[in-house]
């Protein structure tokens, strides 16, 4: 948990301390950073400048993650591995599931950061709340996923370290209100590779 607090504090410092005064939907250069805040997302370009054109478009990962970046760095949508649901920032997603039921997902704030000199791209995806029916039970909770790593020189591969935090609860007759433990309470870490989709 301590690692999580340090990591999230660092991310939030990068994404909020440098650009709190930027009007929504406006860009501002603060401490040599370009900051854009709009649509429930904050985009920061370290060392100033613009969001690079080679990052614009769809990036997909083998386990089901998908990010779609607009020219200004805003994520127009993502596909989450949790249920394979497509989400937009701060728009509640509703997906039909087996048994004429409905899974509901409420995204939180999302963050994008890019450092040109190192080609390091960082994305933080928060699911503030979800309710996922499974048979006669449900899975509820929230999650935070932080991806960070370099984009290849040919701009086709993003090799990222994913740090995953979750607060999941199972609700069944046999297991009422049962918390699902994380493998590592300080964050489950894995390596993931995204590929740029050629349109």
The pLDDT tens digits for 116-146 are: 999 999 999 999 999 999 888 999 999 999 9
Alpha-carbon 147 to chain mean position:
7
User: Rounded to whole angstroms, how far apart are CA atoms 139 and 7?
Assistant: 26
- Mean pLDDT of the residues in the chain: 85
Opening angle at CA 98, ends 95 and 101, nearest 5: 55
Position 180 confidence tier, pLDDT thresholds 50, 70, 90? confident
Per-residue model confidence as pLDDT tens digits over 26-60: 444 446 899 999 878 999 999 988 999 999 999 99
- Residues of the chain with pLDDT > 70, as a percent, come to 84
Q: How far apart are CA 199 and CA 196, in angstroms?
A: 9
Region 105-122: what's the mean pLDDT? 96
Q: Where are the beta strands (DSSP E) in the chain?
A: 27-30, 33-38, 41-46, 57-61, 66-69, 75-79, 86-87, 93-97, 101-107, 110-115, 120-134, 137-150, 157-171, 178-180, 188-196
> What pLDDT score does 98 carry?
82
């Amino acid at each position: 948990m301590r690692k999580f607090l340090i990591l999230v504090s660092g991310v939030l410092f990068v994404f909020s301390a440098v650009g709190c005064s930027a009007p929504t939907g406006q860009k501002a250069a603060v401490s040599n950073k370009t900051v854009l805040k709009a649509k429930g997302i904050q985009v920061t370009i370290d060392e100033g400048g613009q969001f690079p054109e080679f990052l614009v478009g769809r990036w997909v990962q083998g386990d089901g993650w998908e990010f779609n970046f607009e020219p200004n760095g805003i994520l127009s949508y993502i596909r989450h591995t949790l249920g394979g649901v497509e989400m937009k920032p701060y728009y509640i997603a509703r997906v039909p599931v087996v048994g004429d039921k409905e899974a509901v997902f409420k995204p939180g704030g999302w963050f994008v950061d890019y450092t040109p000199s190192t080609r390091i791209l960082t994305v933080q995806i928060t699911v503030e709340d979800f309710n996922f029916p499974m048979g006669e039970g449900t899975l509820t909770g929230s999650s935070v996923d932080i991806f960070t790593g370099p984009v290849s020189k040919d701009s086709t591969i993003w090799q990222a370290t994913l740090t995953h935090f979750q607060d999941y609860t199972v609700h069944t007759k046999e297991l009422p209100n049962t918390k699902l433990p994380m493998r590592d309470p300080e964050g489950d870490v894995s390596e993931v590779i995204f590929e740029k989709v050629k349109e």
